[in-house]
Amino acid sequence: MDAKPKTPIALTIAGSDSSGGAGIQADLKTFSALGVYGASAITAITAQNTLNVERIEALPQGMVRQQIQAVFQDLPVDAIKIGMVLSASIVREIIEAISNYQGYVVLDPVMIAKSGDSLLDEDAIDSVRTLLLPRADLITPNLPEVAILANDQPTSNTNQALVQGHVLMELGAKAVLIKGGHGMDSICTDWLIVNKQPPIKLASPRVSTPNTHGTGCTYSAAIAAHLAKSESLVDAVAHAHDYLARAIQSADQLNIGSGHGPVHHFHGIWQ
Q: Which residue numbers are catalytic?
A: 179, 212, 214-217
Question: Rounded to 5 degrees, what angle do the CA atoms 160, 212, 216 make?
Answer: 55
User: What span, in angstroms and rounded, lies between the C-alpha atoms of 146 and 165?
Assistant: 7
* Residue 196, phi then psi, degrees to nearest 5: 65, 25
Helix or strand run (H / E) with residue 40? strand 37-48
User: What span, in angstroms and rounded, lies between the C-alpha atoms of 79 and 8?
Assistant: 9
From residue 129, alpha-carbon distances to 33, 108, 172 in Å are 31, 12, 9
User: What span, in angstroms and rounded, lies between the C-alpha atoms of 103 and 195?
Assistant: 19
User: What span, in angstroms and rounded, lies between the C-alpha atoms of 252 and 241?
Assistant: 19
H runs (alpha helix) in the chain: 23-33, 63-74, 88-97, 125-127, 133-135, 143-149, 158-170, 215-228, 233-249
H runs (alpha helix) in 171-198: none
H runs (alpha helix) in 75-214: 88-97, 125-127, 133-135, 143-149, 158-170
- Under DSSP, the state recorded for 128 is I
